[in-house]
Amino acid sequence: MTASNTFDHVIVGGGLQGCLLAHAIAHHQPAARVLLAERANDLCGNHTWSFHASDIPASARSWLDPLISKSWPGYSVSFPGLSRRVGIAYQTIASDDLREATLRLAAGEAGEVGRGGFEVVCGEPCEIVSPTCVRIGETTLINCTAVLDCRGRAAAVKSPSGVGYQSFIGHEYETDRPWPVSEPTVMDVRADQACGFEFLYELPFGPQRVLLEYTRFSEEPICSESRAEELIAARLREAGVTATSRLRSERGCLPMPYSAPTGGKLVPVAGGYAGGWYHAATGYSMPLAVRFADIVAQVEPVSIAAALSKEAANDSLRRSFSRLLNRLLFCLVRPADRWKIFRRFYRVLSEEQISRFYAHRFTTADAARIVIGRPPTGLAPIRFAKSFFPRTGPGLA
Ligand SMILES: Cc1cc2nc3c(=O)[nH]c(=O)nc-3n(C[C@H](O)[C@H](O)[C@H](O)COP(=O)(O)OP(=O)(O)OC[C@H]3O[C@@H](n4cnc5c(N)ncnc54)[C@H](O)[C@@H]3O)c2cc1C
């Protein structure tokens, strides 16, 4: 670190949100002085972060596009009785690519972007002392105009009391023959659903490179390794290819809250999982993490909290509705019937409605279309109307 220890922004946590934020600030405020502090030895962990292209607001495209590792023109879903191609571009950022791009920014290799000075510190614990001060390691105090808390799930300032879970085990393979499908399959729900909602997720990265990820929605954060291996092996057989090597693996678990968060105040400003900037009903972080980064990067550090509160207020009904969907999924439907909610979603929604839903920009009419239907996989109209008046006020998560 340089001798000067005064920055405009200190970003604490170099995962998805922290790195996106660094790129957004470097683009919108190239003269800003930014420090990114990550406690692990490396930025970004080990992930493939996918999203619908329509999740990304136009103002974020210029800084986000160079970070994209792979794009496909559309994707498919497959359920018993329904197969559909969705013509919305699907994109992925690999954590290796985001890490390299962020380190290039720190090395001053991004030209004018980030010319104010962008520093990265990894491998040191970082404690937030106040909204304008952090401690790195045992003793180094760093002052700034705004501390931005991007410490992820472990630092979530508000904890919901009711949650289900989405758990994943994924492996990326090199194969002996070309993968037979050129676009992703975002949900392949053809396996037996007796144990709850489970499916395979498939990203063909290259002619002979594919990520196959087992996903399970359940009450507990548990994913069976043997079940994942079984479904992945079956898909490789069906595709008529042999995996010649396993290139990487990823696993993890995402909470899907269905009750309103309680406690906690947004001091300092918190993004990503720490601040509830993720889509509670899909588990995708990208749409709201990009939105958070783009808002923060376009205002002066002293105006960040006000800009975010305004956005959160605009979005609060959508956040309540996402939790309602999780309640429908985890509390009102038998585990073996959960998949039918998703089949209904893909059966009744237009591509415009699907893209608004994933982008967390859906309208009340979209919300009604998603849930009003015959129970158990739909809600009666009166129950749907009541869902917009939650007993606990909507918060930031
Ligand atoms: C297997 C899997 C697949 C997923 N796929 C997708 C997907 O396709 N699309 C999508 O949008 N989302 C996806 N998600 C969700 C997404 O990965 C997370 O929601 C997202 O990473 C949250 O971003 P974040 O920056 O808040 O947290 P993280 O990415 O977890 O980053 C938090 C960072 O803060 C660091 N940290 C914590 N405490 C401190 C401290 N005191 N000092 C310094 N650093 C600290 C951590 O080490 C970490 O690097 C997936 C999740 C999993 C588990």
Q: Report pLDDT digits (tens) over 286-304.
A: 999 999 999 999 999 889 9
pLDDT of residue 162: 82
Residues, the chain? 397
Nearest to 291 by CA among 265, 274, 312, 305: 312
Does the global pTM surpass 0.75? yes
Cα(80) to ligand 1 centroid in Å equals: 33
How far apart CA 33 and CA 25 sit, in angstroms, is: 9
Cα(103) to ligand 1 centroid in Å equals: 18
What does the pLDDT average to over 87-100?
A: 98
How far apart CA 76 and CA 71 sit, in angstroms, is: 14
The two three-digit tokens of residue 254, written as one number:
């995402």
List all residues 6 or more positions away from 176 whose beta carbon is below 8 Å from its beta carbon: 208, 241, 242, 243, 244
Which of the two residues, 85 and 313, has the higher pLDDT score? Answer: 85
Which of the two residues, 222 and 27, has the higher pLDDT score? Answer: 27
How far apart CA 71 and CA 182 sit, in angstroms, is: 11
What does the pLDDT average to over 147-173?
A: 84
Q: Is the model's pLDDT at 264 over the cut of 60?
A: no
Q: Is the model's pLDDT at 178 over the cut of 70?
A: yes
Any ligand 1 atom below 6 A from CB of 154: yes
The two three-digit tokens of residue 186, written as one number:
């975002």
Q: What is the CA radius of gyration of the chain?
A: 21
Which CA distances in Å does 46 have to 95, 122, 131, 298, 326? 6, 16, 29, 29, 27
How far apart CA 143 and CA 47 sit, in angstroms, is: 31
Amino acid at 377: T
Number of H helices, E strands in the chain: 11, 19
**Three-class SS of residue 384?**
helix
Query: Chain-centre distance of CA 52, in angstroms?
Result: 11
pLDDT of residue 395: 33
Q: What is the largest CA-CA distance in the chain?
A: 65
Count Cβ atoms below 10 Å from residue 206 Cβ, excluding itself. 11
What does the pLDDT average to over 166-178?
A: 97
pLDDT of residue 6: 85
Q: For residue 332, how many C-alpha atoms fall within 13 Å in the half-sphere facing its CB? A: 19
Any ligand 1 atom below 6 A from CB of 252: yes
Q: Is the model's pLDDT at 123 over the cut of 70?
A: yes
pLDDT of residue 385: 63
pLDDT of residue 267: 56
Percentage of residues of the chain with pLDDT beyond 90: 73
Q: Is the model's pLDDT at 245 over the cut of 50?
A: yes
Any ligand 1 atom below 6 A from CB of 37: yes
Average pLDDT, the chain: 89
Percentage of residues of the chain with pLDDT beyond 70: 89
Any ligand 1 atom below 6 A from CB of 15: yes
pLDDT of residue 3: 41
Residue nearest ligand 1's atom 53 by CA: 252
Angle between helices 304-327 and 364-371 (to 10 degrees): 20
pLDDT of residue 350: 97
Answer for the pair 25, 63: CB distance below 8 angstroms, yes or no: no
pLDDT of residue 373: 76
Cα(16) to ligand 1 centroid in Å equals: 5
Q: Which atom of ligand 1 is nearest to the CA of 273?
A: 26
Q: Is the model's pLDDT at 42 over the cut of 90?
A: yes
What does the pLDDT average to over 27-37?
A: 95
pLDDT of residue 333: 87
Any ligand 1 atom below 6 A from CB of 125: yes
Residue nearest ligand 1's atom 52 by CA: 252
Q: Is the model's pLDDT at 370 over the cut of 80?
A: yes
Phi-psi region of 84 (alpha: psi -120 to 50; beta: other; left: phi over 0): beta
Cα(184) to ligand 1 centroid in Å equals: 22
Q: Is the model's pLDDT at 312 over the cut of 70?
A: yes
DSSP 40-98: SSSSS-S-EEEEEGGGS-HHHHHHHGGG--EEES-EEEEETTEEEEE-S-EEEEEHHHH
Which CA distances in Å does 276 have to 10, 28, 120, 225, 311? 19, 23, 24, 29, 13
Q: Is the model's pLDDT at 383 over the cut of 70?
A: no
Ligand 1 mutation pick, 20, 23, 39, 269, max ligand atoms within 8 A of CB:
39
Instruction: Give the pLDDT band (50/70/90) at residue 2.
Output: very low
What does the pLDDT average to over 166-173?
A: 96
Count Cβ atoms below 10 Å from residue 291 Cβ, excluding itself. 24
Q: Is the model's pLDDT at 397 over the cut of 90?
A: no
Q: Is the model's pLDDT at 209 over the cut of 90?
A: yes
Q: Which atom of ligand 1 is nearest to the CA of 279?
A: 11
Angle at 179 between CA 178 and CA 185, to 5 degrees: 160
How far apart CA 317 and CA 323 sit, in angstroms, is: 10
